[in-house]
Structure 1
Amino acid sequence: MKKHIILGIKYMSHDTSAALMIDGKLIAACEQERYTFDKHSKRFPIDAIQDCLRIGGVTIDDVDEIAFGGDPKVSLTRTYLETALQDYRRVGMLIQEFEKFSRMYHLEETLREETGYCGLVKYYDHHLAHLASSYYPSGFQRAILLSLDGIGDFKSMKLGIGDHGAITVTRDHYEYPHSIGLAYSAITCYLGWKNVHHEGIIMALACYGDPYATVPGQNKSYYSYFEDIIQYDGQYGTTINQDWMCYYYMRDKWVSDRFIEVFGPHRKEGMAVEQHHKNMAAALQKRLEDVVIGILRQARKEYDIPFLCLSGGVALNCSMNGKIERSGIFDEIFVQPASGDAGLAIGACYLAQREHDSTFLPQKNHNYYLGTPFTSEEIEAALQASGLAYSKPKDLYRETAQRLKDGKVVAWYQGRAEFGPRALGNRSILARPYPAEMKDHINAHVKFREYFRPLAPAVMKEHLHEYFDIRQESPHMLIACQVQPEKKQEIIATVHIDDSCRAQSVGPENNERFYQLLCAFKELTGCPVLLNTSFNVKGQPIINTPEQAIECYRTKQLDVLVLGDFLLEKTV
């Protein structure tokens, strides 16, 4: 019987990607940025497509259908043309974003020219694809589904129900420019960082601020102002007060003159981060959490379903996810590991499969090591070409664990690359989780990023609850939780200023090699936790190939590189 092969694609804006599904099983998923090394790439994902096909052992001619996450017709007509006709201020935006407009218009032509594909092409609603991306791999037969991001097909949020494989959208009125995600991006830009790239920085900064502090020169708190900026009716309704924002027609400015009158001028890149900026980030983060939890509390009350699936770029906000988990509204939540727009390629595959096979049901799938594999022979060839000395230890885990115990910073490159923005133990930079100075060293001298950004703990899953206050497993590093007070000093380099941690639970069933390394470290130190951050530096995508790994190791302050079965170590 012929296999049914679906190629999912995300194109048209940032985070382009591809995914391959064969007979309902997700075989591969790759992000274009890993090949062209431009973070959040907008390029047509030809390299990602070719790698997915190679991993699956198929050709483009074998593909039965191509499924796009996102509908270019909706984006063209509603987001651009209709809004420009309704508001002359949008005309400048239309001209400014002509390149994106052109990509949408020529989408299918580009696809066929780049790939030679002649078969069936389908387009799925942006937020429906997000909902599908989190529902089908969750394993929940019935769940409340929420997609939340900046904008996609003119919408910023969708709420739905997954019921034994069928998705029903229940709330669909969250239209542009009323977007919590874009409001978050606007403040990100106001505070001196870049939208799409740096919202996570604001989340980290928020923990240093006080949302209830009084705004300098005003008689109201930061949070009081943000209640007016992001308005919420206590049920499902949210509105962004456009008196405070101008991203609707002026993306280079983002916030209105009124906003600047109250809060002062934009912070420029490189300027000192002051308490004022921290308080604003704190108020923004708290307002996001309060509104989303309010919506979810209402949904749980209305639908009486104890499981939640989260997706969309805002679902990468692990502080928000942690507040949802701790609220007790749901028995368990599942957050799509590639919640950003790259995950739309997966969501489109799931929707196409369900359309092809109406009996297709959710199945628990926590394996997001879906990227490029390299053989031991390919890795050794890259090592030989580099001219660097290397060894092949008999006990790789113990040798690596010993170096970690000694305080070395280890780049750890194994197996297939992770899909999504979190390094989950295959493309990771690792260190012992103590002392506190370890975090400062990695932020300043290895990753070259802000001092206030936390680094995550990876823990043997059987020790998760011993070290962290969390009710469920956390294999994808997307739910912030509190460290157990008696364990704080033992893993202090992974604990944020508010005692939160973005814990990753690791078991042999989802990452055997990383789990064995954690076991070896525990044998030597008694501690089942390692500091884990992505194998990259600020502004660059996560490392993909052995050659990239070697170059990063050679040029950055990494003490050790473990590349498959091989070990490289710098001598003083």
Structure 2
Amino acid sequence: MNLLAIHDGHTATACFMRNGAVMALVSEERFTNVKNQSGFPHQALEWIVSEFCIGLDEMDAIIIPHLVQPIDFAKTFSSHYSYRHLALHVLSHAVPRRVLGAAKLVEPYVSLFRGYRNGVVRGYCATHGIEPARLHRQEHHAAHRYAALYGAGYPQRGEAALVFTLDGSGDGLSGTVARWDPDQGHELLSKRSSYHSLGDLYSQITQLLGLRPGEHEYKVMGMAPYVRPEHSAPAYAVLCSYMRLNSRGEVVNDAAFGKAMLARLRRDLRDERFDNIAAATQRHFEDIVIAWIKHWLTKTGLNRAAFGGGCFMNARANMLIAELPELSEAFFLPSCGDESTALGGAYYLAETLGEAVPAPLADLYLGPAHGEDEVVRALEAADSQITTRRIDDIEAAVAKLLAEGMIVGRFSGRSEWGARALGQRSILCRADSAANVSKLNKAIKMRDFWMPFAASLLEENAEQYLYPIAGVTGSYMTMTYKTTPLAQNHLIAGLHPFDHTCRAQVVSQETSPSFHRLLTEFKRLTGIGGLLNTSFNLHGAPIVGAPATALDTLLNSDMDCLALGNYLVTKRKVKK
């Protein structure tokens, strides 16, 4: 069967599945060069139709997740509130918290706002010629659950597991716990309304600190390790009075909602330092999430779990989860924000329509590749500003430049899906000198001074650098690892500057053969089995999606060179 799933909210994404295999998974931002582009993914869909020579009328089924309109952070950034948040904010002054946060109110909430959403979807159908009879719908957290469960491969192996979803809000919910086993299928064990959203509290604090909610939560996470627990203790005590976990394994909001929550945070934390608030926020988040997961593992007796929803982009918390002795196996869905609901929608269609058990995620190289003709056209358009050289063994050439200390952009093969650069659209440099952090920031990235970079490591050398955690794999940069003394020598620029943890990509020859070969050649030259890897983009832009954008990034930065397909590109020196 040919199945299509479309996510039209924050970081709009399209997913195409054929005969149970994910053939394409790509976000609209890679075509528009607008970070977190929302709305209907027109260009992503056009690429799928063209690349796979299939029309929308040939799709056996199409699904659009979300029963109510998903939040667009770009439109609500100034206040972080949609009209639905404002409605709940008003109600919060008149309705007791225990009533407003009750799970029984979720269904009326969805019914109230579903009509507008249905009109939007009907508009998509009319514009794109989608037959309503072939259109399916799916609840937001169910999409997160299907993406994590099937992405992990538990149904494919017939293994019972728990699935946790956690985010800011989606279709009136902020979190769910479900069980899957081969005999009973799906069983929803717990759901929590958006009023009790731990993710929304994290985003509110992100806004309190002058950062962009829905995008910059990772900066709060990155600051946290610098602060001693005793310094963040007063702010932590405040947050503990806001939200807690009850004896039934449910997150409880004892504070406020909407603008009232933000106002209360400003009042209660007005005398606290930025870094102390960040550390308290991360600690409070970790404590509640860990207790929540342990509660349900103990209650069900299961020791295998998958995790989806934007809160599990928190790589530091994921490390603590993976280390739990109650877990024998953990899978954190890569790029598990709302963009992953497209993947969940495709898996849902496959299960519902009786498709052969769909394949789990393997690699994430599911976006466009750009052929030689397109690369040459882009090079010719920039000819007056660049010098180029075609090289047959481009991986060996790049490895040599990296060994010599250069910063190299790599644009090769199919693009990776999601928020993490996994070698195909990456900026690479040596990681054995901390000075490279400053060099890279000044040349290209302009990152906040406290933020760490990541590292890509050869699978064969991973245990020399990372203390392994049983039951997890590190292919997608979804969690941090504690590192060995050798890593703190060989990879220091790719580690967190304070605690030396590493958000690592473990690169195998099977899933990423060309990148693995580059790393292997670099190791032959230097004795080091890894590189600093950061996303190929200018500050504030998405990961580059086309050869012309890659060239523009080279020309507007101090990157040393660009490997564009089999071409090595440098800027022409300006004559003085």
Is the pair's TM-score, using the shorter chain for normalization, greater than 0.5? yes
Match of 1:117 among 124, 130, 135: 130
Partner of 1:524: 525
Matches within 5 A, 1:203-282: 203-213=221-231, 221-233=234-246, 235-243=248-256, 246-247=257-258, 250=259, 255-257=262-264, 259-264=265-270, 276-282=273-279
Q: Given that residues 347 and 358 in structure 2 are in contact (C-alpha distance below 8 angstroms), is that contact kept between their aligned partners in structure 1?
A: no
Partner of 1:487: 487
Instruction: Tell me the alpha carbon deviations over residues 38-74 of structure 1, each in whole angstroms, 9 at most, x when there is no partner.
Output: 2112221111111122232211111121111211289
Shift of 1:538: 2.4
Shift of 1:555: 1.1
Q: Distance in 2 between matches of 1:143 and 1:362?
A: 17
Matches within 5 A, 1:82-97: 83=88, 86=91
Q: Given that residues 177 and 191 in structure 2 are in contact (C-alpha distance below 8 angstroms), is that contact kept between their aligned partners in structure 1?
A: no
Distance 1:235 1:440, change over 3 A: farther
Q: Given that residues 297 and 329 in structure 1 are in contact (C-alpha distance below 8 angstroms), is that contact kept between their aligned partners in structure 2?
A: yes
- Segments of structure 1 that go 5 or more residues without pairing to the other structure are 91-99, 215-219, 266-274
Matches within 5 A, 1:78-227: 79=84, 83=88, 86=91, 104-119=117-132, 120-140=134-154, 141-164=159-182, 167-213=185-231, 221-227=234-240
Q: Secondary structure, in 3 states, of the residue corresponding to 1:542?
A: coil
Shift of 1:234: 5.0
Shift of 1:328: 2.8
Instruction: Tell me the alpha carbon deviations over residues 324-369 of structure 1, each in whole angstroms, 9 at most, x when there is no partner.
Output: 1122331221111120101101100110110001x74364422211
Q: Distance in 2 between matches of 1:560 and 1:371?
A: 24
Instruction: Tell me the alpha carbon deviations over residues 291-316 of structure 1, each in whole angstroms, 9 at most, x when there is no partner.
Output: 11111112221222222111111111
Q: Distance in 2 between matches of 1:417 and 1:199?
A: 25
Shift of 1:449: 1.5
Q: Distance in 2 between matches of 1:510 and 1:165?
A: 32
**Could you tell me the percent identity over the aligned residues?**
27
Q: Distance in 2 between matches of 1:429 and 1:165?
A: 46
Matches within 5 A, 1:51-90: 51-72=47-68, 79=84, 83=88, 86=91
Q: Distance in 2 between matches of 1:242 and 1:327?
A: 30
C-alpha RMSD of matched pairs (Å): 2.5
For normalisation by structure 1, the TM-score amounts to 0.88
Aligned length: 536
- Correspondence 1:339 to 2:336: yes
Shift of 1:169: 3.9
Matches within 5 A, 1:373-388: 373-387=369-383, 388=386
Matches within 5 A, 1:353-432: 353-357=350-354, 360-361=356-357, 363-387=359-383, 388-432=386-430
Instruction: Tell me the alpha carbon deviations over residues 130-186 of structure 1, each in whole angstroms, 9 at most, x when there is no partner.
Output: 010011121223221011100000000011112239752433331022101100000
Partner of 1:464: 462
Q: Distance in 1 between matches of 2:557 and 2:183?
A: 47
Partner of 1:544: 545
Q: Secondary structure, in 3 states, of the residue corresponding to 1:162?
A: strand
Q: Given that residues 138 and 363 in structure 1 are in contact (C-alpha distance below 8 angstroms), is that contact kept between their aligned partners in structure 2?
A: no
- Correspondence 1:25 to 2:21: yes
Q: Secondary structure, in 3 states, of the residue corresponding to 1:255?
A: helix
Large movers: runs of 4+ above 6 Å: 100-103
Q: Which moved more, 1:411-420 or 1:326-335?
A: 326-335
For normalisation by structure 2, the TM-score amounts to 0.88
Partner of 1:502: 503
Q: Distance in 2 between matches of 1:310 and 1:64?
A: 29
Q: Distance in 2 between matches of 1:458 and 1:437?
A: 18
Distance 1:231 1:414, change over 3 A: same
Instruction: Tell me the alpha carbon deviations over residues 412-461 of structure 1, each in whole angstroms, 9 at most, x when there is no partner.
Output: 01111111100111110100102101112223331112011111110011
Amino acid at match of 1:240: N
Distance 1:208 1:73, change over 3 A: closer
Q: Distance in 2 between matches of 1:294 and 1:40?
A: 32
